[in-house]
Amino acid sequence: MTKVIALPMCSAKAPQANIEYLKNQLAKLVIEEPTLVCLPETWLAFCDNAQQSWEYAQHNEALLGELSALCQQHNIWLAAGTIAIPSQNDKYLAASYLFNSSGEIVARYNKIHLFDADVSDKTKQYRESERTESGQDVVVVDSPFGRIGLSVCYDLRFPGLFQMMRAQGAELFLVPSAFTCATGKAHWQPLLQARAIENQCYVVAAAQVGCHENGRETYGHSLIVSPWGEVLIDSGASLEPISQQLDSAFLDSIRQKMPVADHNRFKSEFL
């Protein structure tokens, strides 16, 4: 058996403060089996604005070594939410890194769908594309936890991405997120369940939660969802980690009994 842990966070602005928080949380874990720890979107720095994120991005790659060392120290795989990494034209990429227990980077996914939306909260307007460069590549990678498909937050609303990852053999979707309270209450859980049901995959969604230093509020409710669409565990508004053992035999049974991937008559040329 293998285990996944979703670690909710209410991230601060300063990267080092969030790294220290992560270190403290990892020190509390008891690792007795292959374990994947999943962090939320923007876990490293929940900034005041896009300019501040861009400024941090100039130095963030230097912090990857600390994450590598933590993986080795605790014998864990780590899905490191998103980290702002410099790109072109004064923009940055929202990069989601996956480390193995040897501290090696085995995959990196750059967030494809950027959150440009008007929302009925204190922030009112989000324009992620102003300083964030969209990623281009679908990323699916082998691991002890099955084939992992990487996504981030707003990607959740685009089922075509998840269908492409399923076509590439995905068995587990990771969805690190920082959903707003307004959109979270309306859509967060049903979207996660839909992606799990449609593709017969486990879904692990580590989420930001609470009121942040910059005044923003995030919805929380980190979830682990089964390939049948059951919510196996929900963190609610808590910062306590949640965990679940993954049952590959259960996943295989669902796919054998109802082979929806084979039945799909609307596959595009990309699937």
Residues noted as catalytic: 41, 111, 153
Number of alpha carbons in the 13 Å side-chain half-sphere of residue 183: 21
63 touches 15 (CB < 8 A): yes
Take residue 183 and report the two structure tokens written for it.
Answer: 């959109």
5 touches 232 (CB < 8 A): no
Task: Report the alpha-carbon distance of residue 267 to residue 271 in Å, rounded.
Answer: 6
